[in-house]
């Protein structure tokens, strides 16, 4: 069945998510106040007084993901050292660092290890040893993925791929997802920048639902790309990668990065295509900067390789299976394209 939606005078009015059935309505929220929702974020106020150095020091002292506290985390499985990544930007800020990226098991497996052959297949990938941004304005002014730089993000995905190769050696694992939460509004349980990699004994439900929707509509992804293109929501096209503001995302500010022709896992992706994919994700994450966000990389089950990126600053407004998309979205996408072109 084709995707159900309606356009009037070139503008999207509503669209039904073919995977979840949620209907997004485009509405004008310009008069709506978000003061309550966005209150209490002193790190976003440029005039806030600088935080006590002691408070920053204490946060680092108790963080199990900070350098010096390696003993507070499960045993290390992999690391990327500064000599393996000489272009690492943190080198000047954190002299004498012994690692840039570090991998260990998640203390709390997402899927019980009894279901993956007795091996815990949930992992934490620490993205950088730096806990805080370069000159923090509050205790919540944390290092964020968008500040790492494009090459660093590529190194991060290369580490994920090395880790995936290890995970896929476990014959009970059939599906692997990469997940990131940034900021407490997105449900991150640790302030220090990190990713999760999770191996699952069966296709993960989100991916299975997408595969099911594609069986019902084999042209699904191309059709979606055509709709977002006509609605003015495509952000960038580079080589075999397309990114767009998704009108059928989980949140009002959701973006997809997709390789419509590549229907395999990250471990199969040729080096040049990986660079394009990684770059397209990073460019969106950089624009979102320190704002709360999540992303998930979906692969396998014959689906085109893709990532969902959700801006989480605005409240989750799914009400009884409906979502409101701000009517300024098209203008926001145009501004985003301009900002990206400048970089």
218 to each of 18, 168, 300, how far by Cα in Å? 12, 28, 16
Binding letters toward Zn ion, positions 63-92, x by CB under 5 A: x-xx--------------------------
Name the one range near Zn ion by CB under 5 A: 110-118, 124-132, 154-162, 227-235: 124-132
259, 333 Cβ separation under 8 angstroms: no
At 101, list the tokens. 């990226």
Report in angstroms how near the CB of residue 267 gets to Zn ion at its nearest. 18
Would you tell me how many other CB atoms lie within 10 Å of the CB of residue 235?
Answer: 21
- For residues 34-63, which are near Zn ion according to CB under 5 A? 63
In the bound state with Zn ion, the residue whose beta carbon lies nearer, of 121 and 214, is 214
Least Cα distance to 195 among 152, 156, 167, 246 occurs for 156
What is the CA angle 19-21-25, rounded to 5? 120
- Taking CB positions, which residue lies at the least distance from Zn ion? 63
- For residues 194-213, which are near Zn ion according to CB under 5 A? 210
250 to each of 9, 96, 104, how far by Cα in Å? 26, 42, 29
In the bound state with Zn ion, the residue whose beta carbon lies nearer, of 194 and 330, is 194
Report in angstroms how near the CB of residue 131 gets to Zn ion at its nearest. 3
Binding letters toward Zn ion, positions 223-262, x by CB under 5 A: ----------------------------------------
Q: Could you tell me where the beta strands, DSSP code E, fall in 183-321?
A: 194-200, 234-238, 241-245, 253-258, 293-298, 306-311
Report in angstroms how near the CB of residue 60 gets to Zn ion at its nearest. 6
Q: How many residues bind Zn ion (CB under 5 A)?
A: 7
Report in angstroms how near the CB of residue 121 gets to Zn ion at its nearest. 20
The SS3 of residue 205 is helix
Report in angstroms how near the CB of residue 225 gets to Zn ion at its nearest. 14
Report in angstroms how near the CB of residue 172 gets to Zn ion at its nearest. 23
In the bound state with Zn ion, the residue whose beta carbon lies nearer, of 163 and 258, is 258
Q: Which of 130, 152, 298, 312 touches Zn ion by CB under 5 A?
A: 298
In the bound state with Zn ion, the residue whose beta carbon lies nearer, of 160 and 330, is 160
In the bound state with Zn ion, the residue whose beta carbon lies nearer, of 294 and 330, is 294
The SS3 of residue 229 is helix
Name the one range near Zn ion by CB under 5 A: 5-13, 86-94, 290-298, 312-320: 290-298
In the bound state with Zn ion, the residue whose beta carbon lies nearer, of 127 and 185, is 127
Quick one: CA dihedral 312, 318, 323, 327, positive or negative? Answer: negative
Report in angstroms how near the CB of residue 342 gets to Zn ion at its nearest. 30
In the bound state with Zn ion, the residue whose beta carbon lies nearer, of 121 and 210, is 210
- C-alpha 41/C-alpha 59 separation (Å) is 18
Q: Which of 137, 152, 192, 279 touches Zn ion by CB under 5 A?
A: 192
Residue 154 makes contact with Zn ion by CB under 5 A: no
Residue 131 makes contact with Zn ion by CB under 5 A: yes
Q: Could you tell me where the beta strands, DSSP code E, fall in the chain?
A: 5-8, 11-16, 23-27, 76-80, 101-105, 122-126, 175-182, 194-200, 234-238, 241-245, 253-258, 293-298, 306-311, 322-326
In the bound state with Zn ion, the residue whose beta carbon lies nearer, of 227 and 330, is 227
Backbone angles phi, psi at 79, to 5 degrees: -150, 155
In the bound state with Zn ion, the residue whose beta carbon lies nearer, of 228 and 330, is 228
At 36, list the tokens. 């309550």
> What residues make contact with Zn ion under the rule CB under 5 A?
63, 65-66, 131, 192, 210, 298
């Amino acid at each position: 069945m084709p995707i159900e939606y309606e356009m009037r005078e070139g503008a999207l009015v509503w669209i039904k998510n073919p995977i979840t059935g949620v209907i997004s309505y485009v509405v004008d929220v310009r008069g709506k106040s978000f003061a309550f929702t966005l209150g209490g974020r002193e790190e976003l106020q440029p005039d806030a007084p600088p935080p006590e150095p002691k408070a920053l020091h204490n946060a680092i002292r108790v963080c199990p993901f900070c350098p010096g506290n390696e003993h507070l985390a499960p045993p290390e499985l992999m690391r990327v050292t500064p000599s393996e990544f000489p272009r690492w930007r943190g080198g000047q800020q954190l002299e004498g660092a012994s690692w840039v990226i570090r991998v260990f098991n998640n203390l709390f497996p997402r899927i019980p290890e009894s279901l993956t052959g007795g091996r815990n297949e949930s992992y934490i990938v620490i993205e950088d040893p730096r806990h805080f941004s370069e000159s923090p304005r509050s205790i919540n002014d944390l290092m964020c993925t968008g500040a790492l730089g494009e090459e660093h993000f590529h190194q991060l995905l290369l580490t994920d791929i090395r880790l995936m190769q290890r995970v896929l050696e476990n014959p009970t694992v059939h599906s692997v997802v990469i997940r990131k939460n940034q900021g407490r509004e997105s449900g991150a349980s640790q302030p220090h920048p990190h990713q999760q990699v999770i191996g699952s004994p069966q296709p993960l439900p989100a991916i299975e639902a997408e595969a099911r929707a594609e069986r019902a509509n084999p042209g699904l992804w191309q059709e979606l790309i055509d709709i977002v293109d006509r609605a003015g929501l495509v952000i960038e096209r580079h080589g075999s990668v397309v990114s767009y503001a998704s009108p059928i995302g989980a949140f009002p500010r959701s973006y997809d990065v997709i390789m419509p022709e590549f229907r395999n896992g990250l471990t199969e992706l040729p080096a040049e295509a990986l660079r394009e994919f990684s770059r397209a994700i990073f460019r969106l994450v950089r624009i979102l900067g320190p704002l709360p966000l999540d992303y998930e990389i979906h692969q396998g089950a014959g689906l085109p390789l893709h990532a969902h990126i959700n801006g989480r600053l605005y409240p989750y407004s799914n009400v009884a299976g409906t979502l409101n998309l701000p009517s300024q979205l098209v203008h926001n996408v145009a501004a985003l394209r301009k900002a990206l072109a400048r970089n």
